[in-house]
Amino acid sequence: MTLDVKSILTRARVMDNYSYLLIDEKTKLSAIIDPSEVAPIVKVCNDLSIKPDYVLNTHHHFDHTDGNLELKKLYNLKIVGAEDRIPGIDIKVKDGETWALGESIAHIIDVSAHTQGHILWYFKDDKMLFTGDTLFNLCIGGLFEGTPQEMFEALKKIKLLPDDVSFYPGHEYTMHGVEDALRYNPSKELLEYVKNAELRLSKGLPVHPTKLGIEKKVNPYLQANTLEEFTRT
């Protein structure tokens, strides 16, 4: 493991976004994923005496990019994303490419559906996947610029990733997903998952990181095996 990650809750109680601070342990290069709100991010950076070198975006929505320009000004950092709608974009990446934060290598996976140009940041060797508004705990993002077919294909790509990869979602939406998940398949695993989620949230902890192997079993949108089944969830 060469990558350290800190979860930062932003827009707390309004949209409950998660931004993330990534630190490559060997080179100390660092990046912010989806800076929704500047103040909580700057606080964490100050506490750790870190000057982030990059912003990495999953998609263009304001609640994932609102901090881009201010952080760029504050830290003179570079902004990395997949498309021109990302404010202040400096470096463009696309599906199938890799991008390096020091010695930590991210694989770029296009999952256009929630929006077009939505990407996943997959740090394969570190077994970390940043899913933005595509995959949340127990639910998925809405279809703003895509079709159910596109979302089904996007989730298929996630399902192909190894079970021991941990995912880091763009929002704390776990409790929004509980009811549908229970209706879809009230398995023993799901009941345990919900109990654990409630416990973590009651302590002020995020529900993530969750292993994909577990999420594949309890998230109704990952359990659907055909497009027909998927559109029924």
For residue 118, indicate whether it is catalytic: no
Candidates 34, 53, 83, 133: give the one binding Fe ion (CB under 5 A): 133
CA dist., res. 65 & res. 79, Å (int): 10
For residue 171, the minimal CB distance to Fe ion (Å) is 6
Q: Is 61 in the site for Zn ion (CB under 5 A)?
A: yes
Binding residue (CB under 5 A) for Zn ion from 37, 53, 126, 133:
133
Q: Which is nearer to Fe ion, 23 or 120 (CB)?
A: 120
59 is known as an active-site residue: yes
Q: What order do you get walking across the sheet with 30-33 strand by strand?
A: 3-10, 17-24, 30-33, 54-56, 78-81, 91-92
Buried b (16+ CB within 10 A) or exposed e, 183-192: ebeeeeebee
Sign (positive or negative) of CA dihedral 131, 108, 86, 28: positive
**60 touches Zn ion (CB under 5 A):** no
Q: Which is nearer to Zn ion, 115 or 210 (CB)?
A: 115
- Check if 61 is active-site: yes
Q: Which is nearer to Fe ion, 63 or 126 (CB)?
A: 63
Q: How far is CA 67 from CA 7, 49, 71, 85, in A?
A: 16, 19, 6, 14
Catalytic residue among 60, 107, 114, 208: 114
What's the min distance (Å) between Cβ of 187 and Fe ion?
Answer: 28
- The tokens describing 101, both together, are 């934060």
Residue 177: CB atoms within 10 A of its CB come to 21
DSSP, collapsed to helix, strand or coil, labels residue 209 as coil
Q: Clarify whether 176 is annotated catalytic.
A: no
Cα–Cα distance between 16 and 36 in angstroms, integer? 10
Does 133 qualify as catalytic in the annotation?
Answer: yes
What's the min distance (Å) between Cβ of 59 and Fe ion?
8
The verdict on whether 208 is a catalytic residue reads no
When the beta carbons of 63 and 110 are compared against Fe ion, the nearer one is 63
Positions marked catalytic: 59, 61, 63-64, 114, 133, 171
Binding residues for Fe ion, per CB under 5 A?
63, 133
Binding residues for Zn ion, per CB under 5 A?
61, 133
